[in-house]
């Protein structure tokens, strides 16, 4: 039936592969979706790391309260608090390093993805020039 409809039209209807702008648009949408997925993965890594760290910090906060309640003397409470602050400072510094490492990995993966997409585009342009 489609052959009869095509034959009865006074003009030819081009298929999508014969329209280069449609193929380029499709490639652009595909590349954009891949880059967005990569960005989403990076943000999820940040979220997972930060939530894990916050869980650990909240557990340490609860432990601080328990230790303060259990201490009988002022000197004991002061030692507990000083130890807590020292450990918290160390934990935050370590976490900052982890976050910087995640940022570096995300940037590296994005650069690889952009290089790959640029290579594809150059290859497509070269193929279009030859054809």
Contacts of 46 (CB under 8 A, 6+ apart): 99, 102
Residue 30 covered by a domain: no
Residue 27 located in a structural domain: no
Please state the domain count of the chain. 1
Residues 62-111 have pLDDT tens digits of: 999 998 888 888 788 889 999 999 999 999 999 999 999 998 998 898 88
Residue 88 lies in a domain: yes
Domain extent, residue 55, equals 36-130
Is there a domain that residue 69 lies in? yes
User: Residue 12 has what DSSP assignment?
Assistant: -
Q: Which pLDDT score is estimated for 17?
A: 54
Does residue 18 surpass a pLDDT of 60? no
pLDDT digits (tens, 9 = 90+) for 22-52: 566 777 788 788 888 888 998 999 999 999 9
What confidence score (pLDDT) does residue 118 get? 81
Tell whether 9 is covered by a domain.
no
| 128 confidence band (pLDDT: 50, 70, 90) | low
Q: Give pLDDT, residue 48.
A: 95
- Residue 92 inside a domain? The answer is yes
Angle (CA) 112-114-115 rounded to 5° is: 65
Does 18 map to a domain?
no
């Amino acid at each position: 039936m489609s052959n009869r409809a095509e034959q009865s039209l006074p003009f030819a209807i081009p298929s999508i592969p014969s329209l280069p702008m449609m193929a380029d648009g499709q490639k652009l949408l595909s590349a954009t979706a891949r880059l967005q997925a990569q960005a989403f993965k990076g943000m999820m890594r940040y979220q997972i790391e930060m939530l894990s760290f916050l869980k650990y910090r909240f557990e340490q906060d609860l432990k601080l309260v328990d230790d303060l309640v259990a201490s009988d003397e002022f000197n004991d409470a002061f030692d507990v608090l000083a130890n807590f602050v020292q450990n918290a400072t160390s934990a935050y510094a370590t976490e900052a390093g982890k976050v910087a490492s995640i940022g570096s990995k995300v940037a590296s993966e994005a650069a690889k993805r952009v290089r790959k997409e640029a290579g594809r585009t150059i290859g497509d342009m070269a193929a279009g020039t030859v054809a």
